[in-house]
Structure 1
Amino acid sequence: VSSQPHCFHCIHGFALAITSLSAADVAKQYEHIRELGKGTYGKVDLVAHRTQGTKIALKFVTKNKTKLKSFLREYSLTGSLSCSPFIIKVLDVLFETEDSYVFGQEYAPAGDLFDIIPPQVGLPEEMVKRCMQQLGLALDFMHSKSLVHRDVKPENVLLFDRECRRIKLADFGMTRRVGCRVKRVSGTIPYTAPEVCRASRTEGFLVATSLDVWAFGVLVFCMLTGNFPWEAALPADAFYEEFRRWQKAGCPAGTYPSQWRRFTDDALRMFQRLLASEPEKRCGVKDVFCFVKYELVSELRRRASCRAKRGERSSSGVCTGSCSSSSSSSTPRPSHRHPEPSTPPGTSCLRPAPLKRSVLSDPLSPREESGQHQSPGRDKNKSQMVMATAIEICV
């Protein structure tokens, strides 16, 4: 299929060549199989190359949500990190449609980590430990290159099997270098570190590896329990404030916060280091490897820990009794159903926050930037799509 160069952009000293194809020619090259995922950024489709038969994932990033420079930065960063066996690989496929920028990456046939976490139950401990090791190596590799992922969550962990024997970190659209000052995006999610939650929208904050360490700690909690530890790391969130007070008191034994009683003392020591309120006191992600040999969840404590039963609360309003799962359900997932969001913090009925898919940026604006973006010199009436030449990226 013939193609013509559209434009060249330099990222990290290397030119990325973007070329044009019509929509019909793209359809001739790729057979659409199904949609793999959808978000405010756009969507990911599973396609098969019609001549080679190989399946790949095409990520479509909506143009009015992300600037071309940001899209190319994500592509080049992912390419530079693809030498790690624990980071998703990008392919020599790069194109744009009238509405989207698109690149190809390897297909992870087992979906993402969110899909397999049983709500309010969690994954078997051995599976969690496999995830901890592989994700820890992925993040440690990034941090060794002074890069911070900034969006660590189960939706961005792709699976090549349902037992988590091979998983990979994905989605580097938020990735920035250590020391960069960035604006705080709209809203917070449970994985957001407290210093980011407190940051001014105008002044922003400095990017540090400790942001990933915090998110990694929250992710491990989610994998082990099927709940969020809190909705936001802010004083207004009763679960977070309870955990913060316990930390401030020196983490005394026998007075565990309600959601943390199920963990062993070794696991609690690990969480204390990952989820230290002060960023400078957090450990590195590879420090968790020494905890993998220990038991993390105590079955005796699990039975006494907080689950989701209404009405069994202490005088502070936090559930403390043995609880059963009794939440309403929302959209079905391949293996189970995830409940709707829990009662907001500060209300009379306080329950652990069930897992839900989390979006960090404002859906009405591009990632960290505002306004619509139209590439210069683009003919809006052109009914052409854009396909990529093979390129080599080395950062």
Structure 2
Amino acid sequence: MTMKMFVEDWKFGGVLGEGAFGEVKLLINVNTNAKVAVKMINLRKHNDAHMMVKKEICIQKTLSHENVLKLYGSRQEDDVLMMFLEYAIGGELFDRIEPDVGMPAGQAQYYMKQLLNGVQYLHQKGIAHRDIKPENLLIDENDVLKICDFGLATMFRLKGRERLLDKKCGTLPYVAPEVISGESYHAEPADTWSCGVVLICMLCGEAPFNQASTECSYYRKWITGNYMLTSPWTKLQYSALNLVKKILLPNPKKRISIPQILEHSWINSTFNYKDDQSLYKEPLSKRLIYDDTFDGPNLSYSQPTPCLPSIDMKDVINLLRDKSGSNLCYSQPTHNDDLMINSQLPLTQTQTINLNTFQCMVKRMTRFFVKQDWEKVLEILGAALDQFHYTWNLDESGVITISTVDTRRMPLVFKINLIEMDSKLLLDFRLSKGCGLEFKRRFIKLKHVLRDVIDKDVTVPS
């Protein structure tokens, strides 16, 4: 089977991700192997998307900075609008953040500097992003951070004249208190607040509040100074906490600016980035608790998603057996080459997988090979999904879609693809809608349930 051609010399790869209005897919040049991401929006299906996407294109095409995802161009065919974007092979920043743990301080500092440089550039251009969060920060093959998704971005300054903003938008745990209040607000301090929340997520593996309003008990503790014995603040070293306290000031007029943040002692501390990685050598699965409580504030996603009707896994197996006509079902992507990746990742001597199989896979930790046949794996998986009270279903392409809610009772949807690779079976988990860290918590729990069937002799790009 070969990949579907898009236009002459370009073919579609796999699905990179999903957004509010459509999918992001990979395009590969058959001659040069150049890769481009294409964001595809069905305007007939999403009537309200047209003006928003047009605005997004108008803003993003004016931008050129190493920490901003590049827009190469756009075009419309019938009711499908396509945006051609720089392909960031390293995936999303949230995938580098371990739930409830975070990442080493040197790594967080490295990405924070790049985020600040990118946001400062946007502000110099008079543009507010208004939805800064780890899911909207990508990493390229050179470990360079790229700000993406300008769907909520807007101009706040033109020809030296600045206007106040009044739209309440963004993803709630990252939104500044003045935005939530519903009053008019200045753009730059609001984006700066979001950057501060991202920093806490990187250092602690959790957001500090469900929302920055007095409705949230964690936020009330923050503004009254009664937070020091609670998480995530107990995880922060003094210098980092000092910086965060200056960023997360409720009064935007007193909030530290990005140029001032870049002068702060923590930002300019010396960390050994590579050596810093060794702080967390213990496997993630041994550091996290596999239960359903997840007490404390966590991230959330602002888009509601309808629940899916559950079906019996035996029906799934019978359906896939009928669809495949062979020993194994195929789900999207349907060809080994449809996956994209980091070609720099080493393979162990014990694995028998062809290296070419991995050379276009997006870098993610949420996938693993299994050593059992797919029917046995599905039986175990189905029992686990039912045990966790997840709602799930199977679409016509053979993709399992799981629907649940996070700790804030906000929708969380992710998908599982079963992919055959040179006689091996890969389970590939991908977030569809919701919070990245909450998704990773669920993935870790499911991986723990499947631990006895995971093929540890195969190294998976992560």
Q: TM-score range by the shorter chain?
A: 0.5 to 0.7
| 1:184 and 2:168 correspond | yes
Amino acid at match of 2:438: K
Which among 269, 284, 293 is matched to residue 268 of structure 2? 293
* 1:228 equivalent in structure 2: 207
Cα distance in 1 for residues equivalent to 2:33 and 2:293 = 38
* 2:178 equivalent in structure 1: 195
Q: What SS does structure 1 have at the residue aligned with 2:132?
A: coil
Superposed CA offset, 1:191-219 (max 9, x none): 011112221xxxx6345111111100000
- Shift of residue 120, structure 1, vs aligned partner: 0.9
Matches within 5 A, 1:71-86: 71-82=53-64, 84-86=65-67
* 1:362 equivalent in structure 2: none
Cα distance in 2 for residues equivalent to 1:295 and 1:325 = 33
CA change 1:344–1:229 in 2 (3 A) is farther
- Shift of residue 28, structure 1, vs aligned partner: 4.1
| 1:341 and 2:406 correspond | yes
Superposed CA offset, 1:49-78 (max 9, x none): 345432100012342254434323322321
Cα distance in 2 for residues equivalent to 1:39 and 1:115 = 17
**Conserved in 1, the CA contact under 8 Å of 2:52 and 2:151?**
yes
Superposed CA offset, 1:245-292 (max 9, x none): 118xxx9xxx45442022222212211111110111111123222222
Amino acid at match of 2:111: C
RMSD of aligned Cα (Å): 3.2
Q: What SS does structure 2 have at the residue aligned with 1:342?
A: coil
Which among 74, 99, 107 is matched to residue 94 of structure 1? 74
**Conserved in 1, the CA contact under 8 Å of 2:176 and 2:212?**
yes
Matches within 5 A, 1:159-178: 159-161=139-141, 165-178=143-156
- Shift of residue 47, structure 1, vs aligned partner: 1.1
Matches within 5 A, 1:267-286: 267-286=240-259
Matches within 5 A, 1:33-52: 33-52=13-32
* 2:41 equivalent in structure 1: 61
- Shift of residue 37, structure 1, vs aligned partner: 0.6
* 2:116 equivalent in structure 1: 136
Give the share of equivalent positions with the same residue, in percent.
26
Cα distance in 2 for residues equivalent to 1:234 and 1:42 = 32
Aligned length: 283
Q: Name whichever structure is richer in helix by fraction.
A: 2
**Conserved in 2, the CA contact under 8 Å of 1:243 and 1:257?**
no
Cα distance in 2 for residues equivalent to 1:273 and 1:267 = 10
**Conserved in 1, the CA contact under 8 Å of 2:178 and 2:185?**
no
Cα distance in 2 for residues equivalent to 1:101 and 1:329 = 42
**Conserved in 2, the CA contact under 8 Å of 1:61 and 1:101?**
yes
Greater relative contact order (Cα 8 A, min sep 6): structure 1 or 2?
1
CA change 1:174–1:343 in 2 (3 A) is closer
Superposed CA offset, 1:340-382 (max 9, x none): 723669xxxxxxx99337xxxxxxxxxxxxxxxxxxxxxxxxx
**Conserved in 1, the CA contact under 8 Å of 2:5 and 2:11?**
no
**Conserved in 1, the CA contact under 8 Å of 2:35 and 2:87?**
yes
Amino acid at match of 1:342: T
**Conserved in 2, the CA contact under 8 Å of 1:182 and 1:205?**
yes
Superposed CA offset, 1:111-166 (max 9, x none): 110122111111111110110111110011111122111110111111114xx831
TM-score, normalization by structure 1: 0.64
CA change 1:282–1:67 in 2 (3 A) is same
TM-score, normalization by structure 2: 0.55
**Conserved in 1, the CA contact under 8 Å of 2:204 and 2:232?**
no
